[in-house]
């Protein structure tokens, strides 16, 4: 039987995940980002185990990070057998990624509650 070690978040990494969530990053994306910051290269299975997410959840978070250009992927054959494993790592330092997130969040339009309330009243009055 093969033995594997599984990485889990430390208390500081959990705090970092919570900080990313507070600035507007989706929880699953934040978890994958922090997990990748703590490991040089990982497989999708390691991401699933280390972040305690299902395959579909981890896959969607990884896809978002790839689309942002924050992580590349490469295929690696394991002893030239079976399906190739996909290996992920951060393309940029975590500080550069956080800076990109902050800039992105600053540029998002802010919708005030009074504005959205006016649309609701207009809609209700037309019925």
Residue 102 lies in a domain: no
Indicate which CATH number applies to the domain containing 56.
1.10.10.10
52 within a domain of the structure (yes/no): yes
Residue 1 lies in a domain: no
Question: Which of 49, 43, 48, 46 has the alpha carbon at shortest distance from 77?
Answer: 43
What is the model's pLDDT at position 119? 44
76 within some domain: yes
Q: Are 73 and 87 in contact (CB under 8 A)?
A: yes
List the chain pLDDT tens, one digit each, 127 residues. Answer: 556 666 668 889 999 999 999 988 999 999 999 999 998 899 999 999 999 999 999 999 999 999 999 999 998 876 667 788 899 999 999 999 999 998 888 887 765 444 444 444 444 444 4
DSSP β-bridge partners for residue 86? 75
Instruction: Find the domain containing 59 and state its range.
Output: 11-95
Report pLDDT for 1. Answer: 57
Residue 121 in any domain: the answer is: no
Is 124 contained in some domain? Answer: no
Number of structural domains in the chain:
1
Assess if residue 6 is contained within a domain: no
N-terminal to C-terminal alpha carbon distance within the chain: 67
């Amino acid at each position: 039987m093969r033995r594997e070690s599984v990485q889990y978040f430390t208390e500081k990494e959990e705090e970092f995940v919570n900080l990313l969530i507070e600035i507007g990053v989706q929880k699953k994306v934040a978890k994958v980002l922090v997990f990748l910051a703590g490991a040089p290269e990982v497989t999708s299975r390691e991401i699933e185990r280390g972040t305690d997410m299902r395959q579909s959840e981890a896959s969607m978070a990884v896809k978002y990070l790839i689309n942002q250009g924050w992580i590349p992927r490469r295929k690696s054959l394991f002893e030239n057998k079976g399906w190739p494993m996909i290996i992920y790592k951060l393309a940029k330092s975590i500080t550069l990624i956080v800076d990109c997130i902050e800039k992105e969040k600053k540029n998002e339009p802010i919708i005030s509650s009074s504005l959205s309330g006016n649309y609701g009243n207009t809609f209700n009055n037309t019925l």
